Structure 1
């Protein structure tokens, strides 16, 4: 007998095949296309099938933002996920972005169970049962739900108040032996990724605990491991355990096939295989298209609302160049952050390479497709030494190629793009000289024309992800936060635009990166 384990992960509310940059797109991803592929795989399977939603579904797309912040009716989104036919769902880190109250409200409207073993409240699992037991064709199947326990390093404290995030590997070691006594097959569904090279076992990132997928493959008794979080496309055997990670926005599904042999005591896994099935070439599920049609039309109309006009050019033609030489779009974001927090120093990132800045007319579509995260803002009180250390860490984004030209340091692009961990600052003047060794690249750092002093303090506005130390910025942290603005940054941008209906595109070039491009 064969057992098939299908999964999606990190769909981020992209129900339809569009990124909402413009109307009427048919891009190679979406929950709707994933459903088509899942349905086909279920129909073709040679035995029982289980289907898992592996987290990060509640936040990410403009549609998900509209549901959370404008209509405030999570069932508008969950009813679409209910149509896929999942057997179990996992909590992702982005599920907390709109607060745990909204998350709980959304979970109540799902028709499939959410499972999580390592997020606790008062010592008990906070979101559903720790695991799910399913019997299919006489095979007893256990699914253990786990979530990266690094969430407190990113999330606004108010969004996770009262919750404790237990060690993932320790939780697995506790539950897997218990599940082995009850089930023929033990599946771990983990919203997290891999910290080591899958072939050599060598670390591929700082071992912070954010990703422990490789360590999980070393826990005895796990028959299959479903992963996510890193948006990588992975499938294969790691330490003999079949693993999948199906990318981002429903661009692929994970498929693990276990060969089972019936014994006197039940079923035993005799062989396993893991592959990804791409969804891009499939048609979107007519069921989901029909169910989402009215909501999508409402969202598209909302996105087309004009907010302001631009005098000058705020487009981003080259994302890499925009990180080397300040562009008006970045300076605009800094102005919004400073105005919203009453500070005169601000740091922000160009989160990915998809944002294209603003054209002549700015509408909500421009706002939510450029500023893609539901961040709030925090003000950090930093020493000059902290500020310089943060800039030194940002300078690690750059390297020199064989010809001595600027390039992106590989770890910021692979295995997961992390352009969001390079910040640019406004309100200070600075130079990053990439000819210099790591840790000694800040060669100029001025505040109001005078050198920044190591022991002097400076108030700096950043998003709450960075304020908490997200991106491994250890010089930051909750203990240095002196005040917060709890309004979503997308709302702050929209408010600012409505108050300033004519935006002048300016960039004062307060920073430079050497060598020049």
Structure 2
């Protein structure tokens, strides 16, 4: 007898529920509500999300900072009909209590096998669902355990996040003989190139390829990397991944018969025919968000707008200069380093909250470290890997920052130190000069450096930072700190320090 399962799968929505990117009020063909208007649900359909719902947009910032509630987020997920969700790393950014209130308000079920309670029990165990047609489906969720690296310890003190591969394996062993279809919902991605099998990263941040190689799930629903991966078989497991911010989703069909399973899928995107419809209450919150974003908080001497990535990396960038200026102002450190998100709006001359939140979308706080000259140079050398030189002697973004995941945010801009880099040289030997107050930096020199808590954890392949001595921690989120800076300077037109050219090709 033939039995069918239909799945609508999303991941990394990051709070983009409405049809806007929040850089403006302009309506676009995006947003979870537009996607969900295309979902056709019946008793043999599952709607599943792989995490990173609670953080990432102006809407989620407003919910957390102004409303102090994620009830509207859960209401949207319920309207969309979600049956199962797992947790993403960013769903821990506001702490376990905030996360719990969201999960408790969901009509659907959270599955996240590798999140454990204090007594070691599984907080969100796998589920077995019997469809209307009798098909039994086993669903296990897991999240990258690099949450332990990135997250503020206080935010995850109530739980432990253990090895996702080990937990997925144990869950599969327990449930596989009880079900017809096995599904792993993984907030994580692929550590190898799917076409060639080439290893792309030696870290354990992403282990989807290992799951395909060593386990035998029928279907692996992945996320985290923000990659559009069409449905395909990898070592016998059918895999997919959607792009971020509710710009696309996967419609998956599983047909079970005596011959086994046949799985097919399509990448779907919201279009002009898609409707962004919801309750008056939720539409009112979105309107409040848009009005709140348009409030002017300060004035700059001139606009600070983004350029293409290579130009900014080579010549320095006024947006990074401004954020470094703020970090130095509040930290009193000698040196500051800042990275920029993959997509940034920049600051208009009249700066609004919209400018700030769409330019600095992360809930980072600051750490001041004592760092040696040797480690500082090593950090700058790591950043220098961001640019390579192609066969035409043209500077380009290194593939290692584009694959398997786009990671422009792992390139740092420095202030307080003068340095020049030649990207044509061998990695690790690209610094031409590196001076502090006009003097070349020696290995034994000691400095204070201000960086965000993400970088302070060593994330982005900066292993020198966690070994440094902590001088100070500033537990104010950067968006709030930037707003505070404008409030402090409200009677002034703010000037921004200018950076020097960073990269040159020596003849």
Normalization by structure 1: what TM-score? 0.93
Which SS does the other structure have where 1:124 is aligned? Answer: coil
For residues 81 and 163 of structure 1, what CA distance do their matches in structure 2 show?
Answer: 24
**More displaced, 102-111 or 69-78?**
102-111
Determine if the alignment matches structure 1 residue 184 to structure 2 residue 180. yes
Determine if the alignment matches structure 1 residue 461 to structure 2 residue 450. yes
Please list, as runs of the form range in 1=range in 2, the aligned pairs for 1:208-287 lying within 5 A after superposition. 208-234=203-229, 235-261=231-257, 269-287=260-278
Determine if the alignment matches structure 1 residue 2 to structure 2 residue 4. yes
CA contact (8 A) 1:323 1:350 kept: no
Judged with a 3 Å threshold, the aligned counterparts in structure 2 of structure 1 residues 449 and 125 are, in CA distance, closer, same or farther, namely: farther
1:511 to partner: Cα distance = 5.1
Could you give the per-residue CA deviations for residues 284-335 of structure 1, whole angstroms, max 9, x where no partner exists? 33236x4521001111111111111111342234443222222332211001
CA contact (8 A) 2:333 2:448 kept: yes
Determine if the alignment matches structure 1 residue 121 to structure 2 residue 121. no
CA contact (8 A) 1:172 1:219 kept: no
Judged with a 3 Å threshold, the aligned counterparts in structure 2 of structure 1 residues 280 and 488 are, in CA distance, closer, same or farther, namely: farther
Determine if the alignment matches structure 1 residue 82 to structure 2 residue 78. yes
1:126 to partner: Cα distance = 5.8
CA contact (8 A) 2:193 2:404 kept: no
Query: Which residue of structure 1 lines up, in the alignment, with residue 411 of structure 2?
Result: 422
Determine if the alignment matches structure 1 residue 67 to structure 2 residue 58. no
For residues 438 and 282 of structure 1, what CA distance do their matches in structure 2 show?
Answer: 50
Could you give the per-residue CA deviations for residues 151-177 of structure 1, whole angstroms, max 9, x where no partner exists? 122111221124322112111111101
Query: Which residue of structure 2 lines up, in the alignment, with residue 33 of structure 1?
Result: 34
Determine if the alignment matches structure 1 residue 308 to structure 2 residue 298. yes
For residues 282 and 311 of structure 2, what CA distance do their matches in structure 1 show?
Answer: 38
1:125 to partner: Cα distance = 4.5
Please list, as runs of the form range in 1=range in 2, the aligned pairs for 1:439-454 lying within 5 A after superposition. 439-454=428-443
Out of 89, 93, 97, the position equivalent to 1:97 is 93
Query: Which residue of structure 2 lines up, in the alignment, with residue 175 of structure 1?
Result: 171
Query: Which residue of structure 2 lines up, in the alignment, with residue 394 of structure 1?
Result: 383
Query: Which residue of structure 2 lines up, in the alignment, with residue 382 of structure 1?
Result: 371
Query: Which residue of structure 2 lines up, in the alignment, with residue 325 of structure 1?
Result: 315
For residues 356 and 99 of structure 2, what CA distance do their matches in structure 1 show?
Answer: 24
Judged with a 3 Å threshold, the aligned counterparts in structure 2 of structure 1 residues 365 and 378 are, in CA distance, closer, same or farther, namely: same
In structure 1, stretches of 5+ residues that fail to align are 263-267
Query: Which residue of structure 1 lines up, in the alignment, with residue 20 of structure 2?
Result: 18
Determine if the alignment matches structure 1 residue 369 to structure 2 residue 364. no
Query: Which residue of structure 2 lines up, in the alignment, with residue 360 of structure 1?
Result: 349
CA contact (8 A) 1:314 1:505 kept: no
CA contact (8 A) 2:370 2:468 kept: no
Could you give the per-residue CA deviations for residues 395-424 of structure 1, whole angstroms, max 9, x where no partner exists? 000011222121111221233211000001
**More displaced, 158-167 or 79-88?**
158-167
- Root mean square deviation of aligned Cα: 1.9
1:479 to partner: Cα distance = 5.7
For residues 177 and 504 of structure 1, what CA distance do their matches in structure 2 show?
Answer: 61
For residues 93 and 468 of structure 2, what CA distance do their matches in structure 1 show?
Answer: 21
Normalization by structure 2: what TM-score? 0.94
1:76 to partner: Cα distance = 2.0
Judged with a 3 Å threshold, the aligned counterparts in structure 2 of structure 1 residues 347 and 12 are, in CA distance, closer, same or farther, namely: same
In structure 2, stretches of 5+ residues that fail to align are none
For residues 199 and 415 of structure 2, what CA distance do their matches in structure 1 show?
Answer: 35
Judged with a 3 Å threshold, the aligned counterparts in structure 2 of structure 1 residues 291 and 276 are, in CA distance, closer, same or farther, namely: farther
Could you give the per-residue CA deviations for residues 213-256 of structure 1, whole angstroms, max 9, x where no partner exists? 11111234311110000011112111121111011111111233
Judged with a 3 Å threshold, the aligned counterparts in structure 2 of structure 1 residues 221 and 440 are, in CA distance, closer, same or farther, namely: closer
For residues 480 and 125 of structure 1, what CA distance do their matches in structure 2 show?
Answer: 35
For residues 151 and 95 of structure 1, what CA distance do their matches in structure 2 show?
Answer: 10
Judged with a 3 Å threshold, the aligned counterparts in structure 2 of structure 1 residues 35 and 426 are, in CA distance, closer, same or farther, namely: same
Which SS does the other structure have where 2:69 is aligned? Answer: coil
Which SS does the other structure have where 2:34 is aligned? Answer: helix
Query: Which residue of structure 2 lines up, in the alignment, with residue 298 of structure 1?
Result: 288
Query: Which residue of structure 1 lines up, in the alignment, with residue 341 of structure 2?
Result: 351
